[in-house]
Chains A and B, each alone.
Chain A
Amino acid sequence: MQVNHTKKLVSNLKRATVIRGKWNGTKYHVIHKLGEGACGVVYLCERNGIETALKLGTDSARITTEVNVLKSFQRVQGKRLGPSLLDVDDWVTPGGITLPFYVMEYVKGQELATFLHGKGSEWLGVLLLQLLMDLGNLHESGWVFGDLKTDNLLVTSPPPRLRLIDVGGTTQIGRAIKEYTEFYDRGYWLKGSRKAEPSYDLFAVTMIMLEVGGRGRFERGSDPRQTLERKLQQATALKPFTPLINNVWAGNYQNGLEMREDLVNLLQRRPEPKKRNMPVSTRTSRRKKTKKTSFATFEIGAIFVSVIIFYLIYMLFFL
C-alpha cells in the first residue's frame, strides 16, 4: 500500500512544485508531465530558464541502472546516443519520502506516427536511415538499445531528426536484454533469443516499420511467424522495404550499419526523378552538382522545382 501511495504522489506533481536535490541542492520547477514509464515519471522542468526533462522514480535500483547507461554514453565522444545526462540526485518530499531522480536534456519532438501522418514513405526511409546510424554507433560502442519501440522515439525539427529516448532497456552486448516490450521482442515472435545482440534491435526496427507502415500493433496469433508474413504483405506502404525486412528476419545483418547500407541502396534505386523525395536528396547534393556542367541546364530546372517544394515543406513546419 505504501508503494501505491508513493506511485500516486510521483505521478501527480502540480505545476510549480519545486524539486530540490538532497545532495547537489539544485532546484527544478515542475512545468508539466511528459510521460509515465515503468519505473518513474518524466516531468518537463525549468531551471534558470532552461527546460529539462526530469525523471522521478520509485525504484532506486532501476533509476540507477538508467543513470549508469546515460553516463557511459557520455564517455562515447562526439556521438549522440540518447539524451544527455545533466544531474543525478534525490528529492526529499515535503512528506519526508526520499525519491531518486535524474535530469536529462529535454528532447522536444513529435511522436513518429504523428510526424509521418500524411507524408510519403520516403520520410520513413529518411528517418530509418538516422535511426540505423544511431543504432549502428550504439552497437559499435558495445551496446544494444533493447527496448526499441515507437514510444521511445521522438522526431525533432527542423530539420526532422529522429531521436532515441528512454535508455531503460539498453544492455551491454552479450548479456540478457534488460527490458523489452512484447510487440517488438523477437523472442515473443519466436524469431530468436533475448540475448543482447545488434540483430535484436534490428528486429525491433522492422516491427516499428510494420506498426507505422501498416495499421498499428497487432496480436501474434497462433502462428506468430505467419502473422508477421501476412502483416508485411498487407502493409502496402512498406512495399519498397520488403526485401530489407525479409533480410532482417532471415538474420542477414550483423549490425545497424549493414542494414543501413542496404536501405541507402534501396532508397536511391527509385526510378522516377521527380518524386516527392526530391527536396531531401537535392539539398545534400546541390553543392556537388554545380561542378557537373554538362547537366547544368536540366538541373537548374530540377533544383528550382525542388527548392520550391522544400520551401513549402519548411513553411508547414513553422505554421
Chain B
Amino acid sequence: MKKGTLKQILLLTDGCSNQGEDPVAIAALANNQGITVNVIGIIDDDQSEQPEGLEEVEAIAMSGGGVSQIVYQQALSQTVQMVTKQAMTQTLQGVVNQELKQILGEKKTFEELPPDKRGEVMEVVEDLGETCDLEVLVLVDTSASMTPKLATVKDALFDLSLSLNARSGNNRFSIFSFPDKKAPIHKLMDWTPHLDGISKIFPKLASGGITPTGPAIKEAIYQFGKKGLFGSMKDASEPYEETGF
C-alpha cells in the first residue's frame, strides 16, 4: 500500500484551559486539517483518579480524532508511547476502512466485519503503522502546577522517541510549551528525528498561571504547515497524506 505521513499533536497538561478559544473546538479544526490531537492529563500521585477540570482532556481528544488518557506521573512514559501508537492505529484503521468501503462499496466499520476479514485488515494496518512516516508535535503545558512534573515529562518524551524510532518509518518530533508571554506557544525544539538532546532544552521552571490551551493548539496546527521537510502540506486535509505508491 501507499506510504504516507501521519500528523499528531500530543498535548500534555494537568488542568483545564482558562483563556482564549475553546480547545475542544480548535481540536476539531485540527482534525479537519488532517492532524490528530491526543491528550494526556497528568495527575499528582496523591490526587484522586477523577480530579476536577480534567474532563476537558477527553473532550479535546474526542473532537481531535485522537486518544486521551489520564495518568499518574509514574506511568507517564508507558502511556505517552501507548497513546501515540494507539492513535496511529486508529487513524490508519480509518484510512484502510475508507479504502475498503471504496473497493467493496460497503458501509461497514471495522467492528462490523467478520473476524477473519478483521484479521486481514489489521495486518495491513500494522504494516502501515510500522512503515509510515510520523510527525508528532508535543505541546507541553508549563503553567505553574506543572513544575514538579516536567522532569517526568522530559523522560517520557525521550522514551517516546525510543519507541517510535524502533519503527522502519521516519519520525519527526518538535516540542512547544505554553503559556508564553509574547506568543501563544514557545518553541523548545524544532523538528528533529531524535529527542536525544531533550535534556538541554527542557525548561527547569514553569511559567505563569494561565492555561490558554485553545490558542496553543491553534498555533500548533500552523507549525505543521510552516516547515518544509516533507514538501508542501498546506492543503493537506486527509488524515493520512498519501505521498505515492
Interface residues of A, Cβ cutoff 8 Å to B: 23, 60-61, 64-65, 67-68, 71, 88-90, 98, 100, 174-177, 181-182, 187-188, 193-196
Please tell me if B24 contacts chain A, counting CB pairs below 8 Å. no
Please tell me if B18 contacts chain A, counting CB pairs below 8 Å. no
Cβ contact within 8 Å between A68 and B115? no
Cβ of B89: which chain A residues have Cβ within 8 Å of it?
A: 61
Shortest Cβ distance from B161 into chain A, in angstroms? Answer: 10
| Residue of A64, A174, A194 touching B122 (CB-CB under 8 A) | A64
Cβ of B122: which chain A residues have Cβ within 8 Å of it?
A: 61, 64-65, 68
Please tell me if B162 contacts chain A, counting CB pairs below 8 Å. yes
CB-nearest residue of chain B to A90: B115
Shortest Cβ distance from A93 into chain B, in angstroms? Answer: 14
Cβ contact within 8 Å between B115 and A65? no
Counting chain B CB atoms within 10 Å of each CB, which of A100, A175, A177, A188 scores highest?
A: A175
Cβ contact within 8 Å between B78 and A182? yes
User: Besides the contacts A60-B118, A98-B111, A176-B130, what 16 more A-B pairs have beta carbons closer than 8 Å?
Assistant: A23-B115, A60-B111, A64-B119, A64-B122, A65-B122, A68-B119, A88-B115, A88-B119, A100-B115, A176-B166, A181-B78, A187-B159, A187-B166, A193-B165, A194-B166, A195-B166
Shortest Cβ distance from B97 into chain A, in angstroms? Answer: 11
A-B contact pairs, 13 of them (CB 8 A): A64-B118, A64-B119, A71-B119, A88-B116, A176-B130, A176-B163, A177-B166, A181-B78, A187-B159, A188-B159, A193-B166, A194-B163, A194-B166
Cβ contact within 8 Å between A60 and B110? yes
Shortest Cβ distance from A277 into chain B, in angstroms? Answer: 38
Query: Interface on chain B toward A: helix, strand, loop, or mixed SS?
Result: helix
Cβ of B164: which chain A residues have Cβ within 8 Å of it?
A: 176
The total number of A-B Cβ pairs within 8 Å is 63
| Residue of B111, B118, B163 touching A187 (CB-CB under 8 A) | B163
Please tell me if B77 contacts chain A, counting CB pairs below 8 Å. yes
| Residue of B93, B111, B123, B162 touching A68 (CB-CB under 8 A) | B123
Shortest Cβ distance from B194 into chain A, in angstroms? Answer: 12
Cβ of B93: which chain A residues have Cβ within 8 Å of it?
A: 61
CB contacts under 8 Å to A, within B142-198, are 159, 162-168
A123 to B144, CA, bound (A): 54
Known: A61-B122, A64-B119, A188-B159. A175 touches B168 (CB 8 A): yes
Known: A175-B167, A176-B130. A64 touches B162 (CB 8 A): no
CB-nearest residue of chain B to A23: B114
